Structure formats: structure tokens, C-alpha cells
Amino acid sequence: MYHQTKRKVHSLLHPEIVGDNHWDKAINIFIIILIILNVIGIMLETVDSIYLPHKKFFHDFDVFSVIIFTIEYILRVWSSNHDLRYQHKIHGRLRYMASPAALIDLFAILPFYIFLFLPAGIMTIGSDFRLLRILRLLRFFRLFRLTAYTKSTKLVLNVFKSRAHDLLLAFILTTFLVIITSCLVYFAEHDAQPEKFSSIPGTIYWAVTTLTTVGYGDIYPVTILGKIFTIAILFVGVALLALPAGIITSGFIDELRKTRKQKVCPHCGKPLTDHAEH
């Protein structure tokens, strides 16, 4: 009975892997809607005309949400060793609690408990205490919890994992281009515009906005040599910055082909081979 209950709880809280019935979907939809409402509430709290007249409602809704998220977090930790990756009763649960998904769940509710147990004196100066403001912003981690309820999240993660080396190479090449561009334009424009192109690190801002074709227009070359460099850099930059998009696109195509062919283990979510099943 104990193990059956744990398996059922694990299934209900992981619909993206093992859940496939009406209760799984109902809980899935409820949590997603609650997370979205929480993010909307956090944003509306910054609007004084809305927040001040309904301050109690915002507080009560936050308390209700934290209770739900806390119960969910405790149940996730308790049922985590049903997953083959966290089978050990103690070490397995500790490993799960240190996983990125569990840390996001924890950070989503942590600010509430920090404020709850802080001394009253600190709470009094909370409006001007920068650290407390930062801690309140941690509530936005509730938005990241949406990734635990979408099957496409695993697909995206697999794409970035499989193309990590290619993306790293593209990033390195882009970094080299930004540095070389900053050096060339700095030496071409520094004498003509010493305030705008004051140093090579300062010119990096111009290089990034130019290579990404944003071009805010607050800094631009005025010399002939600087304009020639800019034209050449733009042609190279357009081609180079297109590399990551192509890499990611090919990765998505490969992952979609794999997911259509492979079965997934209902316990750990890992792909199964044709001859091996958990």
C-alpha cells in the first residue's frame, strides 16, 4: 500500500513523464494556472493603484500559493526515490533535492519563509533593505516551474546538450569577432570621437549592438575607415550569428526524429532501447 501510494503520487506530480489520466491532467492544469497567476500577481504588486487597495488579497493569495507549492515540494521529495535515478531512501532524496528542478521548486517558496521567520525589526526596514528586495524577486522562480509541466522542455534540454560543443564553438567565434571588431573600430574612431570610443572595452558595446543588427544609433562611426570596417563587420557578423540558429534547428530535427522512434521509461523518463526496458 505504501509503495503503491508513492508510485501514484509520483505519477500525479510528473505528468510529463509517467502521468496519462484525467487526474494527472487536472493537477497539471491547476499548477500551471496557479504559477501563471502568481507571476501576474507579482507584477501587479508593483502597481500601487492596484496593490494598495487589495493588499490583503495579494497576501492571502501568496499564502495560499505557498501552501500548495510547499505540499507539492514535500510530496515530490517523498516520492522521488520511486524514480530509478533516486532509488536510495536517504541519499536518493538528497540527490533529488540538489537537482536543478528541485532547487527551482525550493527557491519559489523560500522567500515567503524567509520573510515569515525574520525578526520584526528587520521587516520594518524591509522596504529599503536591498537584500530583502532581491529575495522577494526570487518569487519569479515560480515561472520557471512551468518547465516541469511541459514535455517539450526535455526536448529543448536534449537539443542544447547534444549540440553543446557546436554552440560553444559558435560562441567562441562570435566572441573573437566582437573583440577584433572592437579593436579595429577603436583605432579608427578614437581620435575622431574620443568620448564615444574611449577604450576597447567601451567599444565592445558598439560592436555587440552592431553585430546583432540592433544599432541603437547612440554610437556610430564617422570616419571613412570606420565605416569601411563597419560594412565588412556587418557582412561577416550576419553570417556568423546565423550559425547558432542553424545548429539549434538541426538539433531539434534530430531530437524529433529520435522521440518518434524511441520509447520512454515510465519511471525515469530516459529513452529505452529496442532490447532493454526498465
For residue 89, what pLDDT is reported? 72
Give, in words, the CATH class of 2-149. Answer: mainly alpha
Q: What is the pLDDT of residues 2-31, one digit of tens each?
A: 777 877 887 777 765 555 567 777 887 888
For residue 115, what pLDDT is reported? 77
For residue 268, what pLDDT is reported? 53
For residue 125, what pLDDT is reported? 43
pLDDT tens across the length of the chain (278 residues): 777 787 788 777 776 555 556 777 788 788 888 888 888 888 888 888 998 999 999 889 988 988 998 998 999 888 888 777 887 777 888 888 998 878 888 888 887 887 777 655 444 444 444 555 555 566 666 666 666 555 666 777 788 888 888 888 888 888 888 899 899 999 999 999 998 898 998 899 988 888 877 777 788 899 999 899 888 888 887 877 788 888 888 888 887 787 676 555 555 555 555 444 44
Q: What is the pLDDT of residues 122-141, one digit of tens each?
A: 444 444 445 555 555 666 66
Q: Using CA atoms, how far apart are residues 77 and 214, in angstroms rounded to an integer?
A: 45
For residue 56, what pLDDT is reported? 92
For residue 118, what pLDDT is reported? 67
Q: Using CA atoms, how far apart are residues 43 and 229, in angstroms rounded to an integer?
A: 44
Topology alike, domains 2-149 and 164-272: no
Domain-wise residue ranges, the chain: 2-149, 164-272
CATH of the domain spanning 164-272:
1.10.287.70
